[in-house]
Amino acid sequence: MAEGTIKRLTDKGFGFIDTGTDKDMFFHMSNLEGVRYEELHEGQRVSYTPGEGPKGPRAENVKPV
């Protein structure tokens, strides 16, 4: 699993993870594991599995580290 830091959260149930590269990884609240979207905060470390969604790359199985 890859790790990153939550860069931005929206009030629409999705956010972006800073992967340490020049591209951030999109994630949706439906791809969270063991945590509710409301419990996440910007700057928090998370692990995730890189995946592919209908609009391009996305993080799946997102959970706090």
DSSP string, 7-65: EEE-TTSEEEEE-SSSS-EEEEGGGB-SS-GGG--TT-EEEEEEEEETTEEEEEEEEE-
- What residue ranges define each of the domains in the chain, with the CATH number in brackets? 2-9+16-60 (2.40.50.140)
**Residue 13 confidence (pLDDT):** 97
Total-model pTM: 0.93
Q: For residue range 16-29, list pLDDT tens digits in order.
A: 999 999 999 999 99
Instruction: List the structure tokens of 30.
Output: 């439906």
Q: For residue range 3-62, list pLDDT tens digits in order.
A: 999 999 999 999 999 999 999 999 999 999 999 999 999 999 999 999 999 999 999 999
**Residue 45 confidence (pLDDT):** 98
